[in-house]
Amino acid sequence: MIGVIDLGKAYGARTLFEGVSLKLVSGSRYGLVGANGSGKTTFLEIVAGDEAASEGSVTISKGARIGVLRQDRFMRDEDAILDVAMAGDELVTRAFEEQRALAASDAPDPARLVELEDLIRAHDGYTLEARASAILEGLGIPVASHRQPLATLSGGFKLRVLLAQVLLGGPDVLLLDEPTNHLDILSIRWLEKFLAAYQGCAIVISHDQRFLDNVASHILDVDYGTISLYPGNYSAFAREKVAIRERKEAEIARAEATIAEKKAWVERFGAKATKARQAQSRLKQIEKIEVEELEASSRRAPLFAFEPERKSGRDVLEIEKVSKAYGPKQVLTDVSVVVRRGERVAIIGSNGLGKSTLLKIATGNLAADAGTVKWGHETRVGYFAQDHHETLVDPDATPIDVIWNAVPKAETSYVRGQLGRVLFSGDDVKKKVSALSGGEAARLVFCRIMVEKPNVLVLDEPTNHLDLEAIEALIEALRTFDDGTLVFVSHDRAFVSALATRILEVTPQGFRDFPGTYDEYLERCGDDHLDADTVVLKAKREKASKVEKAGDGGAKAEGPAASALSWEEQKKRANRLKQLPAKRDQVVAAIEAAEARKAWKTKRRRSARRSTRSSPSGKRSKRSSPRPRAEARPNAGAPGGPERIASRALTGGRAARERARTSVPRGPAGTRLARARRARAYAIMDKRSKIYLNDCL
C-alpha cells in the first residue's frame, strides 16, 4: 500500500531521519512514536504529500484515497455540523451537488444524471447522512446538535468534527496526528473500536500508551536518526527495544574487552624479538575488529520531583453543595466532596460535565454560583491548568523569569539546575513563553510547581502535551509523592490506572464516588461502561424497566444506591467486603469440625447398639467395643465438648449403667422404658451439640 525507499529529511544542519525504507500494508495499524521534535509529524506530512523529502521517495498504490487529520484545516463556522462531517466523502458530496445542479437546470443531461445515480448508489451515498450522524455521536457530539452551526462548538469539539470528516471519507490510507487530544474516555473507546475494524492502512501518532496498546499492530519508532519498524503493540515494542539496545551494548563491551586484552599483550611482549611476529598479528586482529558506535537516543526524560515543604492537616479539601451554570446550561449541581491527606483522587467522565470547572472553583480561579470550598490546615496548593496561558500569563517572560518569580530569593545555579531537570538548557532558558511548544510549556509549569513545594497537587489534564517519556517520568514522581495529596482530571487511562486510589466519575446523573483503584473500579462497573454504545443501550434498558415497574403500579422504593452513600460508608463497606473471605473460611472450618464430631458420635452410637444387642445380659462388652483413643476423637481433649456430652448423655457413666440395669424391669415394659430413656439421652445430646455448634459459628 505504502512504499518508503531511502527516505530522509533535514532542516539545515539538523537531520531528523535518513535511510528510512519501509513497506506499510493494508489491514495494519501503525503507531508512530518518538520524542517531541523528532520528526513524527514531518514524516506524516511527507506521506500525505504536504512536505517534500530531502532524499528518497514515498509511493502509494494507484487510486488509493488518503484521509488526513489536519488540525489547521479551514472550516466555515456558519456551516452545519452534519454538513461539515458529510463533506469528508468528497466523491459522493460532489456527485450530490452536481445532481442538484442538473436537476435545477432547464435542460438536464439524462445520461449524466444516470451516471451520477449509479455513482451515488455504488458508494452507498444515500446512507451518508446516517453514517455521518453515527460517527459524530460516537465522538461525543449529540444528535440534537448536528443541525446547529459549527460556531456553537468549542475548539476541542471542532477537532472532533474534523476527525469525523476524515473517518467518514472511507480512505484507503488513514493518517491521524494525535487523534485522542480533546477526546474523553468514551470517545477514545469508540475510536479504538472504529480503528480495530478498519481494513485500510492507518498511521497514528499518539502519546496515549493504552490507546496504542489497544489499536496498534505495529510500531514505527522515530529514534537514532532513523525510523524502525517493530511488530506488536506499544508494550511489546518497549520491551523489544530495550532488549535490542542491551544486546548491542553487550556486543560492544565484548569487542572492547577483546581489543583491550590484545593491546595489553602487545604492550607487554611487543618489545621482545621472539614475540614480535605475534605482536604484529595481534595488531592486525585489532584493526579488523569493528566496534559499532551507538548513536545517542533522541528520547530524553525530565526529572520531576515533588517534595512538600510540610504536611497538611488530615482534612485537605471540603466542597459542600457547589453549583455552577454557564448561562442556561447547568454544569454542577449541589456537588459535595471531601478529600483527605494522602489520597489520589482521579476525576473522570465525559467532556462538558464540569470536571475542569470543579477544579477551577476549588483552586479559586472561578467563582461558584452556590456552595462553599474549604481548604484544610497547612494546605499549600500547586495547580496545573489545562490551558497553560492561565498559569503563564506573561507571554514575553522567559523560563528563567518564571522560576525566579516563584522563588525570588533563589540563586542562579539553583534556578538553572531546576530548569535543567525539565530539559531547559543553554539558550532554551531565554526563550519567550509565547514561543514555547505545548510540551515545553507543560514542563515549565511543572518546574514552577516543583520549586513552590506544595503539599496538594491539583492537575487538569497534565499529560495532554507530554511525550511518553515525560508521562512515565511524571508517573514515577507522583508515585513518590507520599506526604502529599493528589487531585487530577485525566483521560489517559494508563495514567489514571497507575496513580488513582479513589475514582470520582462525573455522569449526567451526578458524581459517582468509588474508594479504590481504577482497575478495581472497572472490575466493579465493567469496561463496557466506557463504551458509548453500551452505555446508551444500558440507559434504554433501565428506562424501559422503570416504565414497566410504573405500569405495574409502582415498585417499592429501593434503598439508597451505592453512589448516594458517603465516602466513609463506602470505604467501610469495601473493608467489610475484604474481610468476608477470611470470615467465610472460619465458618467453613467450624462447620467441617462440627460435621466430623457428628460423624464420630453416630459411629459410637452404632457401636454401642451392636455391643448391647450381642451381649446376653444387655451389657456392652468391653472387648467387643473398646473405647476409642483420645486422639481418634475430634476435640477429645476439650472438656465439655459435644462428644463428651453425647457420651455422658448416652451411657451416663458406669454407675448410671449399673443403676439402669438393676432398675429397669424385664419384659416388654422394661424394653419400652429403656427406649424412652435412650430417646431422652439422644435429645439432650442433640441439644447440647447444637448449642456448642452455634457457639463455634
Q: According to DSSP H, which parts of 438-488 are helical?
A: 438-452, 468-479
pLDDT recorded at residue 638? 45
Reduced to 3 states, what is the DSSP secondary structure of residue 7?
strand
Task: Compute how many other C-beta atoms are within 10 angstroms of the C-beta atom of residue 623.
Answer: 6
Looking at per-residue pLDDT, the higher value among 120 and 403 belongs to: 403
Domain 315-380+453-537 annotated CATH 3.40.50.300: yes
Arithmetic mean of pLDDT, 435-449: 90
Task: Compute how many other C-beta atoms are within 10 angstroms of the C-beta atom of residue 689.
Answer: 20
| Residue 556 pLDDT > 50 | no
Q: Compute the Cα dihedral for 554, 560, 561, 563 and give only its sign.
A: positive
Looking at per-residue pLDDT, the higher value among 10 and 547 belongs to: 10
Nearest in space to 457 (alpha carbons), one of 335, 567, 308: 308
Greatest mean pLDDT among 530-534, 561-565, 573-577, 579-583: 579-583
Which CATH architecture fits 2-233? 3-Layer(aba) Sandwich (3.40)
Arithmetic mean of pLDDT, 477-486: 92
| Least confident range of 271-285, 332-346, 552-566, 677-691 | 552-566
d(CA 455, CA 530): 32
**Across the chain, which distance is largest between two alpha carbons, in Å?**
131
Q: What is the pTM of this model?
A: 0.67
pLDDT recorded at residue 465? 84
**Run of H or E including 318:** strand 315-326
d(CA 689, CA 643): 8
Cell 500547586 identifies what position? 382
pLDDT recorded at residue 654? 47
CA distances from 454 to 242, 338, 378, 379, 401 (A): 35, 19, 10, 8, 20
Looking at per-residue pLDDT, the higher value among 665 and 435 belongs to: 435
Task: Compute how many other C-beta atoms are within 10 angstroms of the C-beta atom of residue 17.
Answer: 26
Arithmetic mean of pLDDT, 352-375: 91
Grid cell, residue 220, equals 514505527
Give per-residue pLDDT as tens, 160-213: 888 888 888 878 899 998 888 777 787 888 888 888 888 899 999 998 888 999
Grid cell, residue 158, equals 471542532
| Residue 450 pLDDT > 70 | yes
d(CA 26, CA 61): 11
| Least confident range of 265-279, 387-401, 533-547 | 533-547
Banded pLDDT at 560 (limits 50, 70, 90): very low
| Residue 383 pLDDT > 50 | yes
Domain boundaries, the chain: 2-233, 240-288, 315-380+453-537, 578-620+628-696
pLDDT recorded at residue 504? 92
Task: Compute how many other C-beta atoms are within 10 angstroms of the C-beta atom of residue 420.
Answer: 16
Nearest in space to 689 (alpha carbons), one of 621, 642, 639, 657: 642
| Residue 530 pLDDT > 70 | no
Question: φ, ψ for residue 17 (rounded to 5)?
Answer: -160, 160
pLDDT recorded at residue 631? 43
Banded pLDDT at 622 (limits 50, 70, 90): very low
* Residue 89 falls in which region: left (phi positive, over 0), alpha (psi -120 to 50) or beta: beta
Q: What is the mean pLDDT of the chain?
A: 81
| Least confident range of 29-33, 84-88, 315-319 | 84-88
pLDDT recorded at residue 31? 94
Give per-residue pLDDT as tens, 414-423: 999 999 999 9
Arithmetic mean of pLDDT, 472-495: 92
DSSP state of 149: B
Task: Compute how many other C-beta atoms are within 10 angstroms of the C-beta atom of residue 405.
Answer: 11
d(CA 158, CA 155): 5
| Residue 647 pLDDT > 80 | no
| Residue 615 pLDDT > 70 | no
Task: Compute how many other C-beta atoms are within 10 angstroms of the C-beta atom of residue 107.
Answer: 6
Are the beta carbons of 187 and 140 closer than 8 angstroms?
A: yes
d(CA 93, CA 81): 15
Cell 577483546 identifies what position? 258
d(CA 16, CA 42): 9
d(CA 162, CA 180): 12
d(CA 516, CA 504): 10
Question: What's the order of all strands across the beta sheet hosting 315-326?
Answer: 329-340, 315-326, 370-375
| Least confident range of 113-117, 254-258, 311-315, 521-525 | 521-525
Give yes or no on whether 2-233 and 315-380+453-537 have one common fold: yes
